[in-house]
Structure 1
Amino acid sequence: MADKGMITGQHMTAVLPPLFAPDAQTAERVVEFFTAQIRNPNTRKAYLRATGAFASWCDAQGLAALSQVRPIHVATYIEGLRSSIATPSVKLQLAAIRMLFDWLVVGQIVPTNPAHSVRGPKHVVKKGKTSVLSAEEARDLIDAIEIDAPLGLRDRALIGIMVYTFGRVGAVINMRVEDVYVQGRRTWVRLHEKGGKRHEMPCHHNLEEYIEAYMQGAGIAADAKGFLFRTSRGRTGQLSERPMTQPDVYRMIGRRAVNAGVRTKVCCHSFRATGITEYLRNGGKLEVAQQMANHESARTTGLYDRRNDQISLDEVERILI
C-alpha cells in the first residue's frame, strides 16, 4: 500500500494490493477504514505499511482471497516477524491486521476475523526509552540560546512549551498565534492534541516570558491565524509563514544541544519527559502530571518518570574502588 502524508480515496483505491481489492465493494470498505476510521496521520501510515506487508506475505503464500486467510496464517505471519522486528512493532502489526479485519466483518465483507484469536507477544514496559535531561542540562540548553534575533526567541519559546506544558511536539508545531491567550491575568496556551482534543494549560512564569518575548520580537502577535512556530527564510534569519515540521524541530534541538555542550542524546520527546520527571521530583502528583500531559492513563505518564535514575546513580557511586 502507499505510504503518503496526504491520502485520497481515489489514490488509495488505485494502489491497494489485490488481496484487499478483489472487487469495488471491498476496495471501498478498505479505503474507508484508512480515510474515515483512522484520523491520526502517523497511525494511518503505520497501519498502511503493516497491512500492506501482510498482504504481500499472503500473496507469497498463495492466498489470493480474503476468505482463504485463516487464524493459522495470521499466527504464522506474526510468529515470523518476532525474529526480525522488535516486540512493540510486532504488536502494532497484529493490531493493524486485527482492526482492518474487524472493519471488514462489520461491513459484511468477510464473515469472521482471522486475527481475532491470535495472541501477540507479551511486552511489559516499566520505563520509557526517551532520553531525559537533568534540570541542569535543560537549563544550560535554554540559557545557551542567543535571543538577539527572532530564531533564537522562537527556539527558546518552543523548547519552553515542551518543557513546561509537557506538550507533544506534534501539538506544539500546530499551534496558531491565537492559541496563546490571557485568562485571569495569566498567559495560557492551547494545544491541539491527538484525536482532535484541545488541551489548555496556564504558563509557568518562565514560559510566559519566553512566549511574550518571541511574539513581540518576531512581530507576529497580531497574526492571530498564523502559525506560532515558523520556519526561517533561507539564511536570512527572518521567519516565513510556513509552520515548522517535526524534522525541523529535531534538527534545531540537535544544534542547540551541541552549542550548549549537552552530551545527552536528545529528541523532541526528551523535553516532555524532562518536564514530567522534574515536576514529580519536586513533589508533584502523578495523577496531576497525567492531566497536564493529557495522557489517558497514569501508567503512560509513569513511563516518563525517571526519578529512579538518580537513585540508581547514587547507589552505583557507593562502589568505592
Structure 2
Amino acid sequence: MDLIVATSAPSLVLAAGERASIRFLEFFASAIRNPHTRRAYARAAGDFLAWCASAGVASITAVQPLHVAAWIELQTQTLSAPTVKLRLAAIRHLFDWLVTGQIVPHNPAASVRGPSHTAKKGKTPVLDASEARQLLDSIDVSTPIGLRDRALIALMVFSFARVGAALAMRVDDVYVQQRRLWVRLREKGGKAHAMPCHHTLEAYLHDYLDQTGLRDEPKGPLFRTITRGTGQLSKTPLPQANAYAMVRRRAVAAGIDTPIGNHTFRATGITTYLKNGGTLENAAVMANHASTRTTQFYDRRCDDISLDEVERILL
C-alpha cells in the first residue's frame, strides 16, 4: 500500500499524511464505480491539486474556497461550461469524501458556484435516415469484421443503446422471447434494460452470430477485437476507443461528411423514431431514460424546421 500511495497520490495529499493518501485513493477505488467517471474525476482532481501546489498551497488540508473559485475561473477561459461544471462536481465529491473521512474539516468547494449553462437540445451530430441506411449498406459483410461493425452500429441505432452498454454485452444477451429476438443491455448506473429487436437488427445479429460461430460461446463478449494477421474474432472485448475509430472510419468510407461518434447512432435512432410518429414517452422507455426531459435532448426534429426556414431567405 505504501508503494501505491507514494506513486499514485499527488504531493498535496502525501503532505497530509498516509491516512489522507489512503482515503484519497479509496475515493477513486471505492466511491466511483463507473470507469469513465473515475477517469474524468481523477483528471480533474489531479489538475486542481497540481494548480494548488503551484499556487503555494502546502497540503490538501489547507485548500480554501478561494483556491477552488480561482481554479474554476481559470477553467472557464478554455473549457465549455458543462466540462467546468463536471470538474467542479469532481472536486466537491472528493472533498465530501475527505470530510466524512475526517481528513479535512470542511468542503472548500461546497460554496463555489460553477458557470451557468442551459441547453434545450444536445450537440451530438445526427444522421438522417438515408445517411444511416447508406452507412449500413456500405459495409462489406463478407468478413467477420464487417459483420461485427454492421451489427454494432445497427444495435445502437435500432435499440437506442449507448456504446458502453453495447460493448458490455455477452453473446447470451441476444436471446429469443415471444418468437422474437431480444437484446439485454446494462446501462449507466447498473440499470438493466431489455429491448425487442427491429427486424433489420434481428437479421444483422443472426448473420453475425451464425457466420462467426459465436453462438457456441454464450458467456463470451458479443463484440470483440480482430486477431492481428488472421482477420478472425479474438476473445477480447472491443474497447470503446476502437469502436469510435471504427465508426469514424466507416463514415468516411461511406462518403458521410458529418463528424459522427458512437453517440450519434443513439440520437439518430431516437430522432428517426419520433419523426415516424413515435411518442416521446415511449422513446424514453426504449432509451431507458428516467425522464422524457433527457430524451428531448436527443430529439433533433427541429433541425429540419430550421433548415427549411433558412431557405426562405430569398435574395
- What's the TM-score once normalised by structure 1's chain length? 0.93
Q: What number of residue pairs does the alignment pair up?
A: 314
How many angstroms does 1:9 deviate by?
9.5
> Following the alignment from structure 2 to structure 1, what is the Cα–Cα distance between the partners of residues 107 and 241?
38
SS at the partner of 1:200? strand
SS at the partner of 2:265? helix
Corresponding residue of 1:23: 17
How many angstroms does 1:62 deviate by?
1.6
> Following the alignment from structure 2 to structure 1, what is the Cα–Cα distance between the partners of residues 272 and 2?
45
Question: Are positions 1:92 and 2:86 aligned together?
Answer: yes
Corresponding residue of 1:70: 64
Question: Are positions 1:140 and 2:140 aligned together?
Answer: no
How many angstroms does 1:300 deviate by?
2.2
Residues 230-271 of structure 1 show CA distances to partners (whole Å, capped at 9, x for unaligned) of 122224322111121112212221232223222222111111
Residues 19-58 of structure 1 show CA distances to partners (whole Å, capped at 9, x for unaligned) of 2232122112111111000011111111111111111111
> Following the alignment from structure 1 to structure 2, what is the Cα–Cα distance between the partners of residues 173 and 66?
38
Corresponding residue of 2:239: 245
Corresponding residue of 1:181: 175
Corresponding residue of 1:281: 275
- Aligned pairs for 1:291-310 within 5 A: 291-310=285-304
Corresponding residue of 1:11: 4
- Aligned pairs for 1:149-168 within 5 A: 149-168=143-162
Corresponding residue of 1:116: 110
Corresponding residue of 1:3: none
> Following the alignment from structure 1 to structure 2, what is the Cα–Cα distance between the partners of residues 44 and 10?
21
How many angstroms does 1:316 deviate by?
1.4
> Following the alignment from structure 2 to structure 1, what is the Cα–Cα distance between the partners of residues 5 and 284?
37
- 2:61 and 2:103 in contact (8 A); partners too: no
How many angstroms does 1:10 deviate by?
6.0
Question: Are positions 1:256 and 2:250 aligned together?
Answer: yes
47-56 or 13-22, which moves further after superposition? 13-22
SS at the partner of 1:248? helix
- Aligned pairs for 1:34-49 within 5 A: 34-49=28-43
> Following the alignment from structure 2 to structure 1, what is the Cα–Cα distance between the partners of residues 45 and 116?
21
How many angstroms does 1:298 deviate by?
2.3
Paired letter, 1:76: A
Where does structure 2 lack aligned partners over 5 or more consecutive residues?
Answer: none
Q: What percent of counterpart residues are identical?
A: 57
SS at the partner of 1:201? strand
Paired letter, 1:320: L
> Following the alignment from structure 2 to structure 1, what is the Cα–Cα distance between the partners of residues 145 and 85?
41
> Following the alignment from structure 1 to structure 2, what is the Cα–Cα distance between the partners of residues 238 and 112?
55
How many angstroms does 1:108 deviate by?
1.7
- 1:159 and 1:271 in contact (8 A); partners too: yes
SS at the partner of 1:276? helix
- 1:13 and 1:31 in contact (8 A); partners too: no
How many angstroms does 1:18 deviate by?
2.5
Question: Are positions 1:227 and 2:221 aligned together?
Answer: yes
> Following the alignment from structure 1 to structure 2, what is the Cα–Cα distance between the partners of residues 216 and 309?
40
Residues 9 and 201 from structure 1, CA distance in 2 versus in 1: closer, same or farther, beyond 3 angstroms? farther
Paired letter, 1:15: S
> Following the alignment from structure 2 to structure 1, what is the Cα–Cα distance between the partners of residues 7 and 146?
45
Paired letter, 2:8: V
Residues 262 and 132 from structure 1, CA distance in 2 versus in 1: closer, same or farther, beyond 3 angstroms? same
How many angstroms does 1:154 deviate by?
1.3
- What's the TM-score once normalised by structure 2's chain length? 0.95
